[in-house]
Amino acid sequence: MIAMTDPRNDDKNLWVGWDEYHRLIELLALKVHDSGWKFDKILCLARGGLRVGDQLSRIYDLPLAILATSSYREAAGTEQGELDIAQYITMTRGDLSGNVLLVDDLVDSGVTLARVQEHLKDRYPGITAVRSAVLWYKACSKVKPDYHVQYLETNPWIHQPFEEWDTVRPHNLGAWIKRGMQNSRD
């Protein structure tokens, strides 16, 4: 287990840096591998599962499929709203079939995971089995993923390292880069 050592961490907030984030993905890959379950394809849920799916696809040397979902649009992305699931799955070869590893960054309420699994069952008859894998599994979830790295009993808000770009827009990118360069010199 990784020790999340950021001093800002408490029962309500979990701050995760890049090194910790990538280590969690590696631990997730190892957990799935150690289970002995064989799968043919990896399906990640965009946006949160994109980085997880990409890294797992590279580790396992398997095709990556992408399904866009969106529910965290309310209150600047901090409150769950209505769930949207894209009509199509993007992948480079073949159909989504066989054993599929469904990956995301976390399971919070469990609504997305449950609805996507139902969506796959309804629309992709070639799928033999689906198992889910996430980095974080919150206690408040009504759905338990098949694989997870950390169980979060207090349901904290997870501050992931890429979220710093959530407020950067093209018109202020130059100032943001300059500020980052100044901070790296301090």
Q: Is residue 94 part of a domain?
A: yes
Domain that holds residue 71: 13-185
Residue 53 belongs to a domain = yes
How far is the first Cα of the chain from the last one, in angstroms, to the nearest whole number?
A: 32
Judge contact between 77 and 51, C-beta under 8 A. Answer: no
Is 64 part of any domain? Answer: yes
Domain membership of residue 48 (yes or no) is: yes
Most confident of 13-17, 31-35, 81-85, 172-176: 31-35
> Residue 128 is inside which H or E element, if any?
strand 127-138
Do the domain assignments include residue 2?
no
45-76 pLDDT per residue, tens: 998 999 999 999 999 999 899 999 876 544 44
Q: What is the CATH classification number for the domain harbouring 98?
A: 3.40.50.2020
| Domain count across the chain | 1
Which of 125, 118, 128, 126 has the alpha carbon at shortest distance from 38?
128
Average pLDDT, the chain: 88
| Cα–Cα nearest to 105, from 48, 39, 60, 174 | 48
How many CB atoms sit inside 10 A of residue 22's CB? 13
Count of positions (residues) in the chain:
186
Domain contains 157? yes
Of 120, 133, 112, 117, whose CA–CA distance to 33 is shortest?
Answer: 133
In a domain? residue 91? yes
Answer yes or no: pTM beyond 0.75: yes
Which residues are within 8 A (CB) of 146 and not within 5 positions of it... i.e. 6 or more apart? 131, 132, 133
Q: Give 146-185 pLDDT, tens digit per residue.
A: 999 999 999 999 999 988 888 888 888 888 888 876 676 6
49 vs 68: CA distance, rounded Å: 10
Indicate whether 4 belongs to any domain.
no
Q: What's 181's DSSP letter? A: H
| Residues of the chain above pLDDT 70, percent | 89
CA–CA dist 108, 19 (Å, integer): 23
